[in-house]
Structure 1
Amino acid sequence: MFIHLGGEKIIRASELIAIFDVSIEKNSKLSKQFLTYAGKEKKVEVIGEEESKSLVVTTTKVYYSPISSGTLKKRANHLLMI
């Protein structure tokens, strides 16, 4: 199964680790450190040119998605019920 993250980006549901609201980047020191490290390792990808609303952490990358975390969580939960 796959999850559409916005733009033309689709990931395998099995790669998904977590979905966060983008505000976590500003509110959590640990999250900020994690994202800084991921950026240095070139494992961050911004999807599209729209304002990012969520962070999607996978086994290989961190994606900044223009789709809200609530919508992405619904998509992921829907796959679990199938």
Structure 2
Amino acid sequence: MYVHVGEDVMVRTDEIIAILDKNSVQASEDIKQFLQQKEKMVQNLAKNAFKSLVITNKEIYLSPLASTTLKKRSTKGNRQFNP
């Protein structure tokens, strides 16, 4: 399954390592340092301020979509039917 993370970018759900909200990113010095170290991997998909950070093995996306929206999209196909 794929998740739309912003602009025209689709990411396979099994490639997603983490989805972090903007507040977590801004509050953590460790995450800021991580982003500086991986600067070449970062793609800013947000035309304005980003709302979430999507980390995969190959890329790191600054997404204009909320982390809760991305989480819902990434688990939508994995729900089990409970009668």
Match of 1:75 in 2: 73
Alpha-carbon distance in structure 1 between the residues aligned to 2:7 and 2:48: 10
Q: Say which one has the larger Rg.
A: 2
TM (normalized to structure 2)?
0.88
Q: Which residue of 1 aligns with 2:55?
A: 57
Distance in 2 separating the partners of 1:51 and 1:26: 12
Inter-partner Cα distance in structure 1 for 2:48 and 2:60: 17
Aligned partner of 2:8 in structure 1 is 8
Give the count of matched residue pairs.
Answer: 80
What is the identity percentage for the equivalent residue pairs of Structure 1 and Structure 2? 38
TM-score scaled by structure 1?
A: 0.89
Structure 1 stretches of 5 or more lacking a match?
none
Indicate the residue corresponding to 2:27 in structure 1: 27
CA RMSD of aligned residues (A): 1.3
Deviating 4+ runs (over 6 angstroms): none
Q: 1:66 aligns with which of 64, 67, 71?
A: 64
Q: For 1:48 and 1:19, locate their aligned partners in 2 and report how far apart those are by CA, in whole Å.
A: 15
